[in-house]
Amino acid sequence: MLRLYDTKARRVEQVVPDGARGLRMYTCGPTVYRYAHVGNLRSYLLSDMIRRVCERHGLRVVVCQNITDVGHLVDDAEIDPTGEDKILRQARAEGRSALDVARFYEDAFRQDIAALNIRPPEYTPRATESIDLMIELIAKLIEKGHAYVVDDGSVFFSAQSFPDYGEISGNRLDELKPGHRFDKPDPRKRFHADWALWKHSHRELTWEAPWGRGFPGWHVECSAMSLRYLGDRFDIHTGGIDLRFPHHEDERAQSNAAVGHEVVAHWVHGEHLLFNGRKMAKSAGNVVLVRDVVEAGLDPLAVRLAMLEHRYRQQMNLTWDTLRAADRTLRRWRRRVAEWAEHPSRPMAAEYAARAKAALDDDLDTPAALRVLRELERDESVPPGSRFETFLELDHVLGLDLSRDIGAAPTLPPGAAELLERRERARAARDWATSDRLREELAAMGVKVADTPEGQKVVLD
């Protein structure tokens, strides 16, 4: 059964109890005020891979992923009660309403997720449509003595009321210092590490609450939604590594304080994705969107394959060269699968399949699983029909759409596929002499090759 690294436990653990029939998972969703870049999407690939592996074990997986359409900034103190958050600022820049902006970028996010073959969650509640859930949760926390109302109608969570604070990130309350960016702590707080559950305001995107008009704090929405859609005990909570603190610490405190016990069994975090050695940012000029990949003539699933070449909790550096290499591999595998499909069906290569599945069960060791596929691709002792069945079986988990070209690929003469692969490698290495020689050998076999921005195109005489 699947084992993953639990950030709170600080070790790899089996994430589904023996005998369980299902798995429930919460994934922190996007704040929909701009296009998601490929670095953002890595977190959603993590939850998709967990789902796919568990489903191959026969489990029913239920996923909830929120849509943050109230655009909070990361630090509560950065939001002035009368100021603008991310979505409001973007709405002003685009001359549209805040909800129009949110819906536009929500749709764009769904299209990007689909392009990477990431399956949609069962539940995708929007923050703006879940305000009642948040108000109900805040009221419960006030009643239990974990939250307090201040004079202007804002509500804060009392961090000192939750002694276990810091178990995910290691940031204990007695070691936390007030934020260095501000001259003095918010005087409304009883303790500098308290955080806002409800913020008094009369700006756009505010709602009436028992404490006055305002809007919810960032952390409370995930607690309210996960408790509503997954219940007060669920198996896995995923997100990017940057969410460990304060978001997931605050969320855990809210949820556990409200119900009186540990809600999340396992906290699983994915590492950062860099591009050309730097974190993606507008200021760095290295933000890459899915549509940029498509406009470069690459299959968007090349992004998925490139990410799978690294463990989810390993920081990775993406470049255009790695994306092009992944695109070439993807197209070659589809061509090989289409070629193998022409041969008689044979049972899977059981030893290869078992090794790849064991790698995936072992903390999602996707690089090891891909190495198994490459080894199988080269193993001519395995019948083509067996390689076909094994590649498709593993593609149910990897999600690379390797059967896409079945029925569309030309039937190549014996030995031509190997020459095409060698030529592809030669071109990638800029070995033009070898590339030209292999083109002539292919032509003598009746296989004409045209080089296009998408790679080699084959025409049979």
**Residue pair 136/230 in contact by the 8 Å Cβ criterion:** no
- DSSP bridge pairs for 458: 449
Q: Is 350 exposed, middle or buried (0-12, 13-18, 19+ CB in 10 A)?
A: exposed
28 is in an annotated binding site: yes
Q: Report CA-CA distances (Å) from 145 to 164, 190, 384, 418.
A: 16, 13, 66, 70
Measured between its terminal Cα atoms, the distance across the chain in Å is 50
Q: Could you tell me how far CA 427 lies from the centroid of its own chain? A: 32
Buried b (16+ CB within 10 A) or exposed e, 166-186: bbbbeeebeebeeeeeeeeeb
Task: Pick the closest to residue 270 from 27, 3, 11, 1 (CA basis).
Answer: 27
Amino acid identity at 88: L
Joined tokens for residue 460: 């049979």
357 is in an annotated binding site: no
CA dist 8 and 406 (Å) reads 45
**Residue pair 190/156 in contact by the 8 Å Cβ criterion:** yes
222 is in an annotated binding site: yes
Task: Pick the closest to residue 364 from 62, 1, 57, 3 (CA basis).
Answer: 3
CA dist 392 and 386 (Å) reads 10
Q: Does residue 178 have a cis bond before it (omega within 30 degrees)?
A: no
251 is in an annotated binding site: yes
CA dist 393 and 396 (Å) reads 6
Question: From the CB of residue 381, how many other CB atoms can be counted at a distance below 10 Å?
Answer: 6
Joined tokens for residue 115: 């392009």
Annotated binding residues for Zn(2+): 28, 222, 247, 251
Annotated binding-site residues for ATP read: 282
Binding residues, as ranges, are 28, 222, 247, 251, 282
